[in-house]
Amino acid sequence: MVPETEGKVEKTMILTPQQQEIQRLAREFTEKNIIPVAGEYDRSGEFPEFIINKAKEAGLLDMAIPKQFGGRGLDAVTQGIVLEEIGYGCAAFATIIGVSILGFCPVMLAGTDEQKKFYLDPVVQGGLAAFALTEPGAGSDVGAAKTTARKEGNEYLLNGSKCFITSGGYAKVFTIFALTDPTKGVRGLSAFLVKAGQPGLIVAKHENKLGIRGSNTVELLIQDLRVPASQLLGKEGDGMKIAMGSLDITRPMIGAQSVGIAQRALDECLKYFQNKYPDPRKLGQAAQFRLAEMRIQTEAARQTVRHALAVRDAGLPYTVESAIAKTMGSDTAMRVATDALELLGAHGYSHDCVVEKLVRDAKIQQIYEGTNQVQRLVIAGQLMASIQPQAQAAKAGR
Amino acid sequence: MSYPFTEDQQLIRKNARDFAQQYLEPLAVPLDKSGDFPAEAVRKMAEHDFLGWFLPAAYGGAEVGYLSYVLGVEELSRASAAVASIVVNHAAAAYAINRWGTAEQKQKYLPEMAKGRQLGAVAMAEPGPAVGEGPEAVVAAKQGDRFVLKGRKSYVANAGVADVYVVFACTDAAAGAKSMTAFVVDAKAAGLAVGPKKTTMGLRGRPTADVVFDNTPADVLGDGNGGAAIALELLAVTGVAEAAQTVGVVAAAVEHAAKYSQQRIQFGRPIGAFQAIQALLAEVATNCHVARLAVYDAANLIERGEPFTAEAAMVKIFAQRLGMKSLLDTMQVEAGYGYSEEMLMAKLFRDVSGTTILENPLDFPEKLVAASIA
């Protein structure tokens, strides 16, 4: 796929030798373990537990966990490279791995060392983490959450429900967001660390989705779930900050897997034309330009995503870069995948070809972890904050 | 819309809409799930004369004109694009026989097709780069006073359920597409085999499969001349009907999303109150409106027998811009719920993608438009 090794020196300058090596390993893993079975899991909608175990052995599940907690401690750029490769094979697998990272971001951001050990050990041992924020009435509007956490002595009693929870049926650990003070909206939101299998944490309906069908998406019922106070992250009311900080980290990861989808769509077109034409260079100019456009978009998205991740690795603020990377990546995946479907016609529309799956898988990238409308709110919000009302500007002597 | 429809046209639309609401809406989701051919719905449509909409009354058709036909297709497609697609592919074969067939061929096939006792299909695309090219190209060889076909057609809509196929094949393998000729082939003819049914992203229930010919006897359609021109015109008129399908699905989708946007409350108000959501809905509704006018205009030209090549190509181009793009937006309005297969939007998305597919995606309709203004 990505011809990063072509033209050797020039194009490999961007990635370090270590990053290139990990890219190679992720690509091999994808080719060997994911691409051959992705279609099967897409059709059945079953959870690919077997492959996830292999991913654990390959060190893909704990790549974002620091070495001191037993993980591989890869930098953000490298994590993105891995997710792009996995996304190239199947976005459902990339989602499982990426959302597990989202699940443990809260403890990484706000947890004590003790809490980190409590929560990250199961992940290092091969378990998945889940992030339980969304509710039926609270999607983009996080503050409309209805799940509550009432303090009773040295523990909290959680009640409510969550929906669209990725890997909810298989995760070993959950971060659950609940209102410790329902009168305060988002300022009353708190984050709790919960291990799977607790009484009161009930996995309900599994969602039958258009795409990323191999990933498990469930409704969670929370009924008198008792959580020790020691499993509250930070302090009461920190939930919104923790949730948004976590999403800032993983949004470029969505961008990265989206770039994988786009690259795959382009490669599938080339593969098809190679098989269809004795001399593929005879392809008309209109089709050639379309392919070139797909390449332009994909490359622009790839660099945008890597840049956002590099900004994070550099320790700089990256909220806006993160929102841009998610939007740019997912919009590109969608556009390139639909271009591929149009170029491949009836072949692309049938299950003879992976392109229709790429189209279905691409769509969720524009929706989850904050719709692209929410990303634009974030980006516009920062722009609006950078310009002042005229009265204030005059006061400031401008 | 102030489009000057005749009373007949309004009546056809109303009949199709009533039928679609009564029979197709309840059927659409189960049909998508099972993918089984909706024989009962097709039989009912035949009773309503939907299968012979534009065929002459002399052959048992309703003789309503191409614009009325397109209005009917749009209404059927609102409820089930798969069922509408069965009609459109059947009608394409009927159009060809009616337009270019000999008197004998018309008499033989059209009364049966008009009443839906026989279904039609058109077989054009091949596994190779173009008709007549590649190792499996369908080649017609003369045997005595008739032809036999050998080769493979791919992704034939209505394959397996059709009783009669209009097949485009080259009579001279060396000359390739220049020798393209249209044939009529009975589904029961010797050596005709239908491949395994393809699973498609959407339009499930409308069969798609390869059709393989092995020394299959075939009748030349009409006088046998101008196969390439016949193919071009047939693709153009069918493209207009397919665009009506796209419009139908998009109309259903934007209605669904608008309703959702009024019901879904976030940040204390319906999301439809946000400009960002209004912009998505308005974009889709605007494109749908413009596409619809273009479709009606092209259909009207076809009906009146005026030149329509450029207009039909424009419709095809615009339908591709309208289709998937619109459904991505209406699904975005419904976000996670729209992505669920338990809601309607996911199915509409999978369906609309099938209505804008080009028979030969590399043969860009843009060139016809460019030629028309050169």
pLDDT tens over chain B, length 374 residues:
889 999 999 999 999 999 999 999 999 999 999 999 999 999 999 999 999 999 999 999 999 999 999 999 999 999 999 999 999 999 999 999 999 999 999 999 999 999 999 999 999 999 988 888 888 999 999 998 889 999 999 999 999 999 999 999 999 988 878 899 999 999 999 999 999 999 999 999 999 999 999 999 999 999 999 999 999 999 999 999 999 999 999 999 999 999 999 999 999 999 999 999 999 999 999 999 999 999 999 999 999 999 999 999 999 999 999 999 999 999 999 999 999 999 999 999 999 999 999 988 888 889 999 999 98
pLDDT at A281: 73
B130 and B213: one domain?
yes
Residues within 8 A of A (CB atoms), B 333-352 only = 335-336, 338-342, 346, 349-350
Using DSSP's 3-state secondary structure scheme, residue B154 falls into strand
CA A263, B327, B249, B234 torsion-angle sign? negative
Is the Cβ–Cβ distance between A189 and A146 less than 8 Å? no
Residue A58 — pLDDT band, cuts 50, 70, 90? very high
The CA distances from residue B271 to A152, A164, A309, B288, in Å, are 37, 19, 32, 22
Question: Contact B339/A211, CB-based, under 8 Å?
Answer: yes
Domain encompassing residue A230:
129-238
Residue type, B254: V
The residues of B that are catalytic are: 359
**Dist CA A379 CA B294 (whole Å):** 38
Name the strand (E) or helix (H) holding B182: strand B180-186
pLDDT, mean of residues A310-321:
96
The per-residue pLDDT for range A191-240, each reduced to its tens digit, is: 999 999 999 999 999 999 999 999 999 999 999 999 999 999 999 999 99
Helices B66-79 and B7-19 meet at what angle, rounded to 10?
Answer: 20
Which pLDDT score, from 0 to 100, does residue B177 have? 80
CA dist., res. A171 & res. A128, Å (int): 5
Greatest Cα-to-Cα distance within chain B, rounded to the nearest angstrom: 79
Instruction: Return the structure tokens found at B72.
Output: 């009917």
| CA distance linking residue A107 with residue A124, whole number of Å | 14
- Give CA A316 to chain center in angstroms: 21
pLDDT at A12: 46
Retrieve residue B16's tokens: 């199709």
A346–B208 CB contact, under 8 Å: yes
Residue A324 is encoded by which pair of tokens? Answer: 């841009």
Q: Are the Cβ atoms of A350 and B201 closer than 8 angstroms?
A: yes
CATH code at B202? 2.40.110.10
Q: Are B232 and B369 members of one domain? A: yes
Structure-block tokens of residue B214: 């092995």
In order, the DSSP letters of A372-393 are HHHHHHHHHHHHHHHS--HHHH
Q: For residues B327 and B204, what is the distance between their CA atoms, to the nearest angstrom?
A: 18
ipTM associated with this complex: 0.95
Partner A, chain B 73-132, Cβ-Cβ below 8 Å: 125, 127-129
**A133 lies in the same domain as A118:** no
Let me know whether A186 and A247 are in one domain: no
- Could you tell me if B155 and A350 are in contact, meaning their C-beta atoms sit under 8 angstroms apart? yes
pLDDT at A3 over 50: no
Q: Are residues A351 and A250 in the same domain?
A: yes
Cβ atoms of B136 and B127 within 8 Å: the answer is yes
Q: Which of B332, B340, B361 sits opposite A209 (nearest CB)?
A: B340
Contact residues on chain B for A216, CB-CB shorter than 8 A: none
Count H helices and E strands in chain A, helices first: 13, 8
Alpha helices in A47-89 (DSSP H): 49-57, 76-89
Measured between alpha carbons, how far is A227 from A157 in angstroms, rounded to an integer? 6
- Residue B2 within any structural domain of the chain: no
User: Residue A395's pLDDT band (boundaries 50, 70, 90)?
Assistant: confident
Q: Which amino acid is at A222?
A: I
Q: DSSP label at A388?
A: -
For chains A and B, count residue pairs whose Cβ atoms are closer than 8 Å.
Answer: 129
**Would the CB atoms of B276 and A342 count as touching at under 8 Å?**
no
Last residue of one domain, picked from the residues A185, A205, A238:
A238
Does A99 share its domain with A49? yes
Sort out which chain A residues have CB atoms less than 8 A from B356's CB and list them.
342
The structural domain count of chain B equals: 3
Min Cα distance A34 → chain B (Å) is 21
| Residue-wise pLDDT tens digits, B153-208 | 999 999 999 999 999 999 998 887 889 999 999 999 999 999 999 999 999 999 99
- Is there a contact between A214 and A207 (Cβ–Cβ < 8 Å)? no
Let me know whether B289 and B326 are in one domain: yes
| Tens of pLDDT, residues B97-146 | 999 999 999 999 999 999 999 999 999 999 988 888 888 999 999 998 88
- With tokens 């790839």, the residue in question is A302
Helix (H) or strand (E) run with residue A243 in it: helix A239-276
Same-domain status, A277 and A163 = no
Domain boundary among A105, A124, A143: A124
Range of the domain at B350: 228-373
- For B267, which residue in chain A has the nearest alpha carbon? A141
Q: Which two tokens stand for residue A25?
A: 């390993």
Angle of CA points A367, A213, A207, to nearest 5°: 75
pLDDT score at A397: 64
Q: How many CA atoms lie within 13 A of A7 on its CB side?
A: 8
Pick from A220, A238, A256: which residue ends a domain? A238
- The verdict on whether A236 is a catalytic residue reads no
Pick from B131, B245, B339, B368 the residue to mutate for testing the A interface (most A CBs within 10 Å): B339
Per-residue pLDDT tens digits for A228-281: 999 999 999 999 999 999 999 999 999 999 999 999 999 999 999 998 888 877
With beta carbons under 8 A apart, name residues in chain A contacting B349. 210, 363
Q: Are B234 and B180 in contact (CB under 8 A)?
A: no
Give the other-Cβ count within 10 Å of A282's Cβ: 10
- The domain boundary, picked from B89, B114, B139, lies at B114
Which of A350, A361, A372, A377 would best serve as a mutation to test chain B binding (most B beta carbons within 10 A)?
A350
Domain boundary among B98, B114, B130: B114
Selecting from B198, B267, B340 the residue whose C-beta is nearest the C-beta of A208 gives: B340
Taking residue B88's Cβ as centre, other Cβ atoms within 10 Å add up to: 26
Residues A140, B266: C-beta atoms closer than 8 Å? yes
User: Do residue A341 and residue A378 come from a single domain?
Assistant: yes
Neighbours of A114 (CB within 10 A): 9
Residue B284, both tokens: 């889709």
Q: With contact defined as beta carbons under 8 Å apart, do A336 and A266 qualify?
A: yes
- Provide the residue count of chain B: 374
Same domain? B81 vs B180: no
Closest chain A residue to B279 measured between Cα atoms? Answer: A373
Q: How many domains does chain A have?
A: 3
Same domain, A83 and A19: yes
Say if residues A108 and A175 touch (Cβ distance below 8 Å).
no
Is A99 domain-assigned? yes
Identify the CA nearest to A228 among candidates A193, A253, A186, A273: A193
Closest CA to A111 of A278, A252, A234: A234
CB A344 within 8 A of CB A390: no
Decide if pLDDT at A8 tops 90. Answer: no
Q: What is the pLDDT of residue B120?
A: 98
Indicate whether A215 and A303 sit together in one domain. no
Taking a contact as any Cβ pair under 8 Å apart, which residues of chain B between 297 and 326 contact chain A? 320, 324-325
Partners of B150 in the β-ladder: B139, B214
Catalogue the E-assigned strands of chain A.
Answer: 129-132, 148-152, 155-166, 173-179, 189-195, 201-206, 217-228, 232-233
Are A313 and A231 found together in one domain?
no
Sequence-distant (≥ 6) Cβ neighbours of residue B226 within 8 angstroms: none
CATH number of the structural domain spanning residue B21: 1.10.540.10
Output the domain CATH number for residue A288: 1.20.140.10
In a domain, A213, yes or no: yes
Q: Are strands B164-170 and B180-186 parallel, antiparallel or unpaired?
A: antiparallel
Do β-strands B269-270 and B265-266 pair in parallel, antiparallel, or remain unpaired? Answer: antiparallel
Give the 3-state secondary structure of residue A162. Answer: strand
Nearest to A365 by CA among A243, A215, A246, A241: A215
Chain B residue whose CA is closest to A373: B276
Q: Are residues B220 and B232 in the same domain?
A: no
Determine, for residues A363 and B339 on separate chains, whether the beta-carbon distance falls below 8 Å: yes
What was the pLDDT predicted at A398?
53
Q: Which of B117, B68, B67 is nearest to B94 (CA)?
A: B117
Angle between helices A35-44 and A91-110 (to 10 degrees): 90
